[in-house]
Amino acid sequence: VHVLEDVLLFTQVMDPTSNLRQVVADDTSLNGLRQAIAVANAGSILERAGPLTLFAPTNAAFALLNQRFFALLLMPPYVVHLRELLRMHISSRNVYTAATLQDGLVIDTLRGADNLTVSIESESVVVASAVNSGAVIEAELLGTNGVVHKINQVLLPLALSQNLLEVAGSRSNLNAMASLVVTAGLEETLTNASLASTILAPTDLAFAGLDPSIVGRFNEDLNLLRDVLLYHEIQIFIES
């Protein structure tokens, strides 16, 4: 036994002097998150007065993402989606300490309708979106305006989980395209289309403008319909 004249404290016990943005910036295991915050110009969110709770994906969590998908999110046309992805990981409702992360807890996020749900699995705290989930691997990094919990997955909002067919089906002016894809038996093709694909999707008005004889040929020859629909898929990513 060695007798000490002071109590040794680790960082989480001491009074914090950094806000959550600084907590992220000072942690090298959160470099990927720091990059995403900078590109999305979202740092001011983590500087708010609070109370804030940040579920922070680690570098390893970002490495698990499809890297082409992540690269797209870092591009200017898609930064708005990156910002919404980050907002999915932040709650301004409360400072949720490790003790409050109980099974069944529903956490409001800055995404509004996209909440997170807490569960306890094999003694691990798991935080889930409507799409996927991540386990808390380091809890309760304190900041002056809230708390950070490191997680091992990037949580995805529903809006970023749709495949190409689901995107077409969600647009009111692409009903004909979505219907014909099903008729042609191409659902799996578009569902599994890679991030390197671009679909040129004719609107309902475009299909309505076709000569009736051509539409009739589609109905008679599904192979022709498939060929025409696949003619609208380009095997590279093209920005709008």
Nearest CA-CA partner of 155 in 101, 99, 111: 111
Determine the pLDDT at residue 44: 94
User: What tokens does 187 get?
Assistant: 């659902």
Q: Which residues contact 125 (CB under 8 A, 6 or more apart)?
A: 98, 101, 118, 119, 135, 136, 139, 149
Helix (H), strand (E), coil (C) string for 125-191: EEEECCCCEEEEEEEEEEECCEEEEEECCCCCCHHHCCCHHHHHHCCCCCHHHHHHHHHCCCHHHHH
3-state class (DSSP) for residue 36: helix
> Which one-letter amino acid corresponds to residue 165?
L
- Concatenating the DSSP letter of every residue in 41-91 gives T-GGGGGSSS-EEEEEE-HHHHHHS-HHHHHHHTSGGGHHHHHHHHHTTEE
Residues 6+ apart with CB under 8 A from 121: 135
Residues of the chain with pLDDT under 50: 8-14, 238
- In this prediction, residue 56 carries a pLDDT of 97
Cβ–Cβ < 8 Å for 116, 19: no
Output the pLDDT for position 10.
42
pLDDT at residue 76, as a whole number = 84
Sign of dihedral through CA atoms 232, 234, 235, 237?
Answer: negative
How remote is the C-alpha of 126 from its chain's centroid?
16
Per-residue pLDDT at 136: 96
CB atoms within 10 A of CB 221: 12
Provide the whole-model pTM. Answer: 0.72
